Structure 1
Amino acid sequence: MRRKVANPLALAVLAHLVMGPMHPYELGKQLKETGKDRNIKYNRGSLYMVVEQLRKAGFIVEHETVKDTQRPERTVYALTDAGRDEMYDWMRQLVSDPQHEYPQFGVALSLIAVLSPTEAVELLRDRVGALAKEISETRSLIGKAGDDGVEWVFLVEEEYRISLLDAELRFVTGLISSFEGTDYRRSWEQHFGREP
Protein backbone atom coordinates (compact mmCIF):
# COMPACT_ATOMS: atom_id res chain seq x y z
CA MET A 1 0.00 0.00 0.00
CA ARG A 2 1.32 3.43 -0.94
CA ARG A 3 1.04 5.92 1.90
CA LYS A 4 0.58 9.67 1.56
CA VAL A 5 3.45 10.16 4.02
CA ALA A 6 5.71 7.08 4.20
CA ASN A 7 8.59 8.30 6.38
CA PRO A 8 8.89 6.22 9.62
CA LEU A 9 9.25 9.51 11.50
CA ALA A 10 5.67 10.31 10.42
CA LEU A 11 4.45 7.14 12.11
CA ALA A 12 6.29 8.10 15.30
CA VAL A 13 4.69 11.57 15.22
CA LEU A 14 1.21 10.07 14.76
CA ALA A 15 1.80 7.56 17.57
CA HIS A 16 2.98 10.25 19.99
CA LEU A 17 0.02 12.50 19.15
CA VAL A 18 -2.32 9.70 20.30
CA MET A 19 -1.34 10.84 23.82
CA GLY A 20 -2.53 14.38 23.10
CA PRO A 21 -1.72 17.56 21.19
CA MET A 22 1.96 18.59 21.10
CA HIS A 23 4.39 21.06 19.63
CA PRO A 24 7.04 19.53 17.28
CA TYR A 25 9.81 20.46 19.73
CA GLU A 26 8.02 18.50 22.46
CA LEU A 27 7.60 15.56 20.05
CA GLY A 28 11.34 15.57 19.30
CA LYS A 29 12.16 15.76 23.00
CA GLN A 30 9.93 12.75 23.72
CA LEU A 31 11.51 10.73 20.88
CA LYS A 32 14.93 11.41 22.35
CA GLU A 33 13.93 10.81 25.99
CA THR A 34 12.27 7.48 25.17
CA GLY A 35 15.20 6.31 23.02
CA LYS A 36 13.07 6.11 19.88
CA ASP A 37 15.77 8.12 18.09
CA ARG A 38 17.87 4.90 18.12
CA ASN A 39 15.41 3.38 15.61
CA ILE A 40 14.06 6.45 13.83
CA LYS A 41 16.63 8.81 12.39
CA TYR A 42 15.67 12.46 12.33
CA ASN A 43 16.84 15.97 13.00
CA ARG A 44 14.90 19.09 13.88
CA GLY A 45 14.43 20.10 10.23
CA SER A 46 13.17 16.68 9.16
CA LEU A 47 10.76 16.59 12.10
CA TYR A 48 9.19 19.93 11.13
CA MET A 49 9.06 18.83 7.48
CA VAL A 50 7.21 15.61 8.41
CA VAL A 51 4.79 17.56 10.62
CA GLU A 52 3.98 19.79 7.65
CA GLN A 53 3.51 16.76 5.35
CA LEU A 54 1.14 15.18 7.87
CA ARG A 55 -0.80 18.45 8.13
CA LYS A 56 -1.15 18.68 4.33
CA ALA A 57 -2.30 15.05 4.20
CA GLY A 58 -5.03 15.82 6.75
CA PHE A 59 -3.60 13.50 9.42
CA ILE A 60 -2.92 16.29 11.91
CA VAL A 61 -4.30 19.80 12.42
CA GLU A 62 -3.18 22.95 14.15
CA HIS A 63 -4.74 22.65 17.58
CA GLU A 64 -3.65 25.97 19.07
CA THR A 65 -0.96 28.59 18.96
CA VAL A 66 0.82 29.22 22.24
CA LYS A 67 2.58 32.49 23.00
CA ASP A 68 4.52 33.09 26.16
CA THR A 69 7.11 35.70 27.00
CA GLN A 70 10.01 33.27 27.10
CA ARG A 71 9.71 31.75 23.63
CA PRO A 72 8.47 32.58 20.16
CA GLU A 73 4.96 31.63 19.13
CA ARG A 74 4.52 27.85 18.94
CA THR A 75 1.94 25.82 17.03
CA VAL A 76 0.58 22.77 18.81
CA TYR A 77 -0.72 19.95 16.59
CA ALA A 78 -3.42 17.36 17.23
CA LEU A 79 -4.28 14.06 15.57
CA THR A 80 -7.32 13.94 13.26
CA ASP A 81 -9.60 10.91 12.92
CA ALA A 82 -7.96 10.23 9.54
CA GLY A 83 -4.54 10.43 11.22
CA ARG A 84 -5.59 7.99 13.92
CA ASP A 85 -6.92 5.55 11.27
CA GLU A 86 -3.69 5.93 9.25
CA MET A 87 -1.51 5.29 12.31
CA TYR A 88 -3.38 2.11 13.32
CA ASP A 89 -3.48 0.80 9.73
CA TRP A 90 0.25 1.46 9.30
CA MET A 91 1.13 -0.16 12.64
CA ARG A 92 -0.95 -3.24 11.86
CA GLN A 93 0.81 -3.60 8.50
CA LEU A 94 4.33 -3.20 9.96
CA VAL A 95 3.70 -5.64 12.82
CA SER A 96 1.99 -8.37 10.76
CA ASP A 97 3.60 -8.19 7.31
CA PRO A 98 7.35 -8.96 6.98
CA GLN A 99 9.04 -6.65 4.49
CA HIS A 100 12.33 -7.28 2.72
CA GLU A 101 14.81 -4.67 3.87
CA TYR A 102 18.11 -3.82 2.24
CA PRO A 103 20.73 -3.46 4.97
CA GLN A 104 24.15 -2.24 3.87
CA PHE A 105 25.89 -5.26 5.35
CA GLY A 106 23.86 -7.45 2.97
CA VAL A 107 25.26 -5.43 0.07
CA ALA A 108 28.80 -5.90 1.41
CA LEU A 109 28.26 -9.64 1.82
CA SER A 110 27.00 -9.98 -1.74
CA LEU A 111 30.32 -8.51 -2.97
CA ILE A 112 32.75 -9.71 -0.27
CA ALA A 113 34.50 -12.18 -2.59
CA VAL A 114 36.51 -9.29 -4.07
CA LEU A 115 38.37 -8.93 -0.75
CA SER A 116 41.27 -11.25 -0.06
CA PRO A 117 40.48 -13.89 2.57
CA THR A 118 43.02 -12.31 4.93
CA GLU A 119 41.51 -8.83 4.65
CA ALA A 120 37.96 -10.19 4.89
CA VAL A 121 38.86 -11.97 8.13
CA GLU A 122 40.47 -8.84 9.60
CA LEU A 123 37.45 -6.71 8.74
CA LEU A 124 34.98 -9.30 10.02
CA ARG A 125 36.91 -9.53 13.30
CA ASP A 126 36.58 -5.73 13.61
CA ARG A 127 32.84 -6.20 13.07
CA VAL A 128 32.70 -8.90 15.77
CA GLY A 129 34.25 -6.44 18.22
CA ALA A 130 31.81 -3.68 17.24
CA LEU A 131 28.84 -6.05 17.52
CA ALA A 132 29.93 -7.30 20.95
CA LYS A 133 30.29 -3.70 22.13
CA GLU A 134 26.84 -2.72 20.83
CA ILE A 135 25.25 -5.80 22.43
CA SER A 136 26.87 -4.93 25.77
CA GLU A 137 25.80 -1.27 25.58
CA THR A 138 22.23 -2.21 24.63
CA ARG A 139 21.97 -4.76 27.45
CA SER A 140 23.26 -2.10 29.85
CA LEU A 141 20.65 0.39 28.56
CA ILE A 142 17.87 -2.18 29.04
CA GLY A 143 19.12 -3.03 32.53
CA LYS A 144 19.23 0.62 33.58
CA ALA A 145 15.78 1.31 32.15
CA GLY A 146 14.41 -1.75 33.95
CA ASP A 147 15.99 -0.58 37.21
CA ASP A 148 14.33 2.81 36.63
CA GLY A 149 10.94 1.07 36.38
CA VAL A 150 10.44 1.29 32.62
CA GLU A 151 7.87 -1.31 31.49
CA TRP A 152 9.23 -4.08 29.24
CA VAL A 153 6.91 -3.11 26.37
CA PHE A 154 8.71 0.24 26.04
CA LEU A 155 12.01 -1.61 25.63
CA VAL A 156 10.87 -4.29 23.21
CA GLU A 157 12.63 -2.67 20.23
CA GLU A 158 15.91 -2.89 22.17
CA GLU A 159 15.30 -6.59 22.89
CA TYR A 160 14.69 -7.03 19.16
CA ARG A 161 17.94 -5.18 18.44
CA ILE A 162 19.84 -7.57 20.73
CA SER A 163 18.27 -10.61 19.01
CA LEU A 164 19.41 -9.31 15.61
CA LEU A 165 22.87 -8.41 16.88
CA ASP A 166 23.28 -11.83 18.55
CA ALA A 167 22.26 -13.58 15.31
CA GLU A 168 24.64 -11.41 13.27
CA LEU A 169 27.47 -12.08 15.72
CA ARG A 170 26.97 -15.85 15.36
CA PHE A 171 26.77 -15.53 11.57
CA VAL A 172 29.93 -13.40 11.29
CA THR A 173 31.87 -15.71 13.62
CA GLY A 174 30.96 -18.68 11.38
CA LEU A 175 31.82 -16.67 8.27
CA ILE A 176 35.30 -15.96 9.63
CA SER A 177 35.87 -19.72 9.96
CA SER A 178 34.80 -20.21 6.35
CA PHE A 179 37.20 -17.51 5.11
CA GLU A 180 40.04 -19.06 7.09
CA GLY A 181 39.57 -22.46 5.43
CA THR A 182 42.32 -23.53 3.04
CA ASP A 183 39.80 -24.65 0.39
CA TYR A 184 38.38 -21.14 0.14
CA ARG A 185 41.83 -19.54 0.01
CA ARG A 186 42.81 -21.85 -2.85
CA SER A 187 39.56 -21.13 -4.72
CA TRP A 188 39.93 -17.35 -4.18
CA GLU A 189 43.51 -17.42 -5.56
CA GLN A 190 42.31 -19.28 -8.66
CA HIS A 191 39.78 -16.51 -9.36
CA PHE A 192 41.61 -13.41 -8.17
CA GLY A 193 45.31 -14.31 -8.08
CA ARG A 194 47.57 -14.30 -5.07
CA GLU A 195 46.82 -12.19 -2.01
CA PRO A 196 48.79 -8.95 -1.86
Structure 2
Amino acid sequence: MARSKEFEENDVLEKAMMLFWEQGFEKTSMNDLVEHMGIHRRSLYDTFTDKRTLFLKAMERFEDRIGGRWAARAKQAETADQALRSIFRFVIDGDEDAPPGCMLVNSAVELAVRDADVDAKTAQAFAKSEDLLAEIVAWGQQSGEFTERYEAKELAEYLHNALAGLRVMARTSAAKEKLERIAEMSMRILTP
Protein backbone atom coordinates (compact mmCIF):
# COMPACT_ATOMS: atom_id res chain seq x y z
CA MET A 1 0.00 0.00 0.00
CA ALA A 2 1.36 3.42 -0.97
CA ARG A 3 2.06 5.83 1.87
CA SER A 4 0.42 9.22 1.79
CA LYS A 5 2.50 12.36 2.07
CA GLU A 6 2.89 13.52 5.64
CA PHE A 7 3.64 17.12 4.68
CA GLU A 8 2.25 19.97 2.64
CA GLU A 9 4.41 20.37 -0.47
CA ASN A 10 4.14 24.18 -0.54
CA ASP A 11 5.22 24.41 3.10
CA VAL A 12 8.37 22.36 2.61
CA LEU A 13 9.14 24.15 -0.66
CA GLU A 14 8.94 27.46 1.23
CA LYS A 15 11.43 26.11 3.78
CA ALA A 16 13.78 24.94 1.01
CA MET A 17 13.52 28.33 -0.71
CA MET A 18 14.50 30.11 2.49
CA LEU A 19 17.49 27.84 3.02
CA PHE A 20 18.71 28.18 -0.57
CA TRP A 21 18.14 31.94 -0.35
CA GLU A 22 20.29 32.13 2.79
CA GLN A 23 23.06 29.70 1.83
CA GLY A 24 23.00 29.29 -1.95
CA PHE A 25 22.86 26.07 -3.92
CA GLU A 26 26.36 24.70 -3.42
CA LYS A 27 26.61 25.36 0.30
CA THR A 28 23.27 23.68 1.00
CA SER A 29 23.63 19.93 1.48
CA MET A 30 20.92 17.30 1.23
CA ASN A 31 21.27 16.81 5.00
CA ASP A 32 20.67 20.55 5.49
CA LEU A 33 17.54 20.34 3.35
CA VAL A 34 16.14 17.25 5.06
CA GLU A 35 16.70 18.79 8.48
CA HIS A 36 15.40 22.24 7.57
CA MET A 37 12.38 20.98 5.62
CA GLY A 38 11.47 18.46 8.31
CA ILE A 39 10.90 15.59 5.89
CA HIS A 40 12.60 12.27 5.20
CA ARG A 41 15.26 12.09 2.52
CA ARG A 42 13.16 9.56 0.59
CA SER A 43 10.18 11.95 0.63
CA LEU A 44 12.39 14.73 -0.70
CA TYR A 45 13.52 12.55 -3.61
CA ASP A 46 10.00 11.21 -4.26
CA THR A 47 8.51 14.69 -4.34
CA PHE A 48 11.27 16.81 -5.88
CA THR A 49 13.50 14.23 -7.68
CA ASP A 50 16.84 15.75 -6.64
CA LYS A 51 18.49 18.79 -5.08
CA ARG A 52 18.82 20.66 -8.39
CA THR A 53 15.16 20.19 -9.31
CA LEU A 54 14.17 21.34 -5.82
CA PHE A 55 16.41 24.38 -6.26
CA LEU A 56 14.80 25.29 -9.59
CA LYS A 57 11.33 24.99 -8.02
CA ALA A 58 12.49 27.16 -5.13
CA MET A 59 13.69 29.77 -7.64
CA GLU A 60 10.24 29.78 -9.26
CA ARG A 61 8.59 30.18 -5.87
CA PHE A 62 10.90 33.10 -5.05
CA GLU A 63 10.16 34.79 -8.38
CA ASP A 64 6.41 34.49 -7.82
CA ARG A 65 6.76 35.86 -4.31
CA ILE A 66 8.94 38.87 -5.07
CA GLY A 67 7.47 39.66 -8.48
CA GLY A 68 4.04 39.69 -6.91
CA ARG A 69 5.16 42.03 -4.16
CA TRP A 70 6.77 44.46 -6.60
CA ALA A 71 3.61 44.49 -8.74
CA ALA A 72 1.38 44.97 -5.69
CA ARG A 73 3.45 47.94 -4.55
CA ALA A 74 3.19 49.49 -8.02
CA LYS A 75 -0.60 49.03 -8.09
CA GLN A 76 -1.07 50.58 -4.65
CA ALA A 77 0.89 53.70 -5.53
CA GLU A 78 -0.89 56.88 -6.57
CA THR A 79 2.03 58.08 -8.71
CA ALA A 80 4.81 56.48 -10.71
CA ASP A 81 7.36 58.14 -8.44
CA GLN A 82 5.70 56.54 -5.40
CA ALA A 83 5.64 53.17 -7.15
CA LEU A 84 9.39 53.20 -7.86
CA ARG A 85 10.28 54.54 -4.44
CA SER A 86 8.19 51.78 -2.88
CA ILE A 87 10.13 49.13 -4.81
CA PHE A 88 13.45 50.68 -3.81
CA ARG A 89 12.26 50.80 -0.19
CA PHE A 90 11.26 47.11 -0.34
CA VAL A 91 14.67 46.14 -1.73
CA ILE A 92 16.51 48.15 0.93
CA ASP A 93 14.37 47.05 3.88
CA GLY A 94 14.08 43.46 2.77
CA ASP A 95 11.35 41.02 3.54
CA GLU A 96 10.38 40.48 7.16
CA ASP A 97 11.61 37.11 8.48
CA ALA A 98 13.60 36.42 5.31
CA PRO A 99 17.28 36.45 4.41
CA PRO A 100 18.68 39.71 3.05
CA GLY A 101 19.22 40.26 -0.63
CA CYS A 102 17.63 38.36 -3.49
CA MET A 103 17.68 34.64 -4.21
CA LEU A 104 17.59 35.27 -7.97
CA VAL A 105 20.52 37.67 -7.94
CA ASN A 106 22.44 35.31 -5.66
CA SER A 107 21.67 32.36 -7.97
CA ALA A 108 22.72 34.29 -11.07
CA VAL A 109 26.05 35.16 -9.49
CA GLU A 110 26.63 31.65 -8.14
CA LEU A 111 25.44 29.46 -11.00
CA ALA A 112 24.21 31.17 -14.18
CA VAL A 113 27.54 31.02 -15.98
CA ARG A 114 27.60 27.20 -15.74
CA ASP A 115 23.94 26.17 -15.47
CA ALA A 116 21.73 26.97 -18.46
CA ASP A 117 18.49 26.39 -16.53
CA VAL A 118 19.47 28.77 -13.75
CA ASP A 119 20.60 31.30 -16.34
CA ALA A 120 17.28 30.99 -18.19
CA LYS A 121 15.23 31.34 -14.99
CA THR A 122 17.14 34.38 -13.81
CA ALA A 123 17.04 35.99 -17.27
CA GLN A 124 13.28 35.44 -17.45
CA ALA A 125 12.72 36.85 -13.96
CA PHE A 126 14.94 39.85 -14.66
CA ALA A 127 13.05 40.51 -17.91
CA LYS A 128 9.73 40.50 -16.00
CA SER A 129 11.16 42.96 -13.49
CA GLU A 130 12.37 45.22 -16.28
CA ASP A 131 8.95 45.03 -17.95
CA LEU A 132 7.27 46.16 -14.73
CA LEU A 133 9.81 48.95 -14.30
CA ALA A 134 9.27 50.04 -17.92
CA GLU A 135 5.52 50.23 -17.30
CA ILE A 136 6.08 52.40 -14.24
CA VAL A 137 8.54 54.64 -16.09
CA ALA A 138 6.14 55.01 -19.05
CA TRP A 139 3.38 55.93 -16.57
CA GLY A 140 5.68 58.56 -15.07
CA GLN A 141 6.61 59.90 -18.49
CA GLN A 142 2.96 60.22 -19.48
CA SER A 143 2.12 62.02 -16.23
CA GLY A 144 5.12 64.35 -16.55
CA GLU A 145 6.87 62.96 -13.46
CA PHE A 146 9.79 61.48 -15.38
CA THR A 147 12.06 62.59 -18.17
CA GLU A 148 11.36 61.64 -21.77
CA ARG A 149 15.04 62.05 -22.76
CA TYR A 150 15.35 58.26 -22.72
CA GLU A 151 13.00 55.46 -23.67
CA ALA A 152 11.14 53.79 -20.82
CA LYS A 153 12.83 50.47 -21.62
CA GLU A 154 16.31 52.00 -21.36
CA LEU A 155 15.50 53.61 -18.04
CA ALA A 156 14.00 50.34 -16.79
CA GLU A 157 17.22 48.49 -17.65
CA TYR A 158 19.21 51.10 -15.75
CA LEU A 159 16.89 50.97 -12.73
CA HIS A 160 16.91 47.17 -12.69
CA ASN A 161 20.69 47.23 -12.66
CA ALA A 162 20.64 49.64 -9.70
CA LEU A 163 18.13 47.43 -7.87
CA ALA A 164 20.23 44.31 -8.53
CA GLY A 165 23.26 46.09 -7.09
CA LEU A 166 21.27 47.10 -4.01
CA ARG A 167 20.14 43.50 -3.55
CA VAL A 168 23.77 42.41 -3.54
CA MET A 169 24.78 45.18 -1.15
CA ALA A 170 21.87 44.29 1.17
CA ARG A 171 23.71 41.03 1.93
CA THR A 172 26.78 42.92 3.08
CA SER A 173 27.44 45.16 6.05
CA ALA A 174 26.70 48.28 3.96
CA ALA A 175 24.84 50.90 5.97
CA LYS A 176 21.18 51.38 5.14
CA GLU A 177 21.89 55.10 4.70
CA LYS A 178 24.30 54.28 1.88
CA LEU A 179 21.69 52.11 0.16
CA GLU A 180 19.17 54.92 0.50
CA ARG A 181 21.61 57.40 -1.09
CA ILE A 182 22.12 55.01 -4.02
CA ALA A 183 18.35 54.65 -4.44
CA GLU A 184 17.90 58.42 -4.36
CA MET A 185 20.67 58.92 -6.92
CA SER A 186 19.02 56.30 -9.13
CA MET A 187 15.74 58.19 -8.97
CA ARG A 188 17.45 61.44 -10.04
CA ILE A 189 18.06 60.12 -13.55
CA LEU A 190 14.29 60.23 -13.99
CA THR A 191 14.01 63.95 -13.23
CA PRO A 192 12.45 65.82 -16.18
TM tier, smaller: 0.3 to 0.5
Higher-helix-fraction structure:
2
Larger Rg: 1
TM-score calculated relative to the size of structure 2: 0.37
Whose RCO is larger (CA < 8 A, sep 6+)?
Answer: 2
Higher-strand-fraction structure:
1
TM-score calculated relative to the size of structure 1: 0.36
